[in-house]
Amino acid sequence: MNKSSIKEYVWDFIICFAACVIFSIGVNVFVIPNDLVQGGLMGIAIIINKIFPFLKTGVVTFIMNIPLFVLSWKKIGGSFIIKSFVVTTMLSICLDLFNFFPAYKGDSIIVSLSGGVLSGISLALIFIRGATTGGTDIFAKLIRIRFPNITLGKIILFFDFLVISISAIISKNIETALYSLILIFVSTYCIDYFIYGASHSKALMIVTSKYDEISSQITNEMNRGLTLVPVEGGYTGEKKKMIVCAVRGNEVVKLSQIIRKTDTNAFTIISDAGEIIGLGFKKRD
């Protein structure tokens, strides 16, 4: 492992740890004290903690994730699962460790917005670094192996709605369930905004000496077209090729992972594409 790879892993750890702290503060300050729930396994852990207060939210979250990681290691494997397991462990610890901040019990809209923003920002940072917090993200990937025609978003949305419905039934409070939906909506919006920006389509210019490997993965794994443009470094004089391609917003993270995994020295420019016309995007009039 070279120095640049080690540096990348160190930054992954630092940023993901900071994101776990932010997420934990949001949950302990806004979500739990106001009887709201997050989506997925985190939401189930919060519900269990309400019924059995001696069972800590972080501990329950970690225990529920273990079977998913065992299955995903057999089915998916790779650095993604290892990194996600590390992040899930950090988050579980932070949830129980950073519970000393004073709880905010005020306007429900402020609670939903604040909790959603903190959740969205922290999860976006984790996703950008090529990991997840386990839970329904991992479960959705496992389901897609069996049913590839179902999108990740639909699976996650289904489980989030299921958890909130269970919470409403147990607490017999529809109002808190509705505020939980607002929290999840705000969180999802923040994730999309911080990862993909305001535009839904992106144009990428990737300067790399490993253009053959990256190009192959873009065409085979992402089913996207691209253009290779010969370029020359102004300082080094080194001849390379620049990959020019357009992707949808939800494909940016996948492409970034491919680039980082293949060539840590690649130079990438990601810009908004107001409108893309052509195969795989908008049809010509």
Q: State the Cα–Cα distance between residues 86 and 88, nearest whole angstrom.
A: 6
Average pLDDT, the chain: 83
Q: State the Cα–Cα distance between residues 41 and 39, nearest whole angstrom.
A: 7
Do the beta carbons of residue 25 and residue 10 sit within 8 Å?
A: no
**Could you give the percent of the chain with pLDDT greater than 70?**
88
Report how far apart, in Å, the C-alpha atoms of 185 and of each of 43, 209, 235 are.
14, 41, 47
In words, the CATH class of domain 201-272 is: alpha beta
Interstrand relation of 239-248 and 267-272 (parallel, antiparallel or unpaired): unpaired
User: What pLDDT is recorded for position 24?
Assistant: 94
pLDDT in tens, 81-138: 888 899 999 999 999 998 888 999 888 899 999 999 999 899 888 888 878 888 777 7
Domain ranges within the chain, ordered by starting residue: 3-196, 201-272
Q: State the Cα–Cα distance between residues 36 and 19, nearest whole angstrom.
A: 20
Q: Which residue has the higher pLDDT, 178 or 80?
A: 178
User: What pLDDT is recorded for position 277?
Assistant: 64
pLDDT in tens, 27-60: 999 999 998 888 888 889 888 988 898 889 999 9
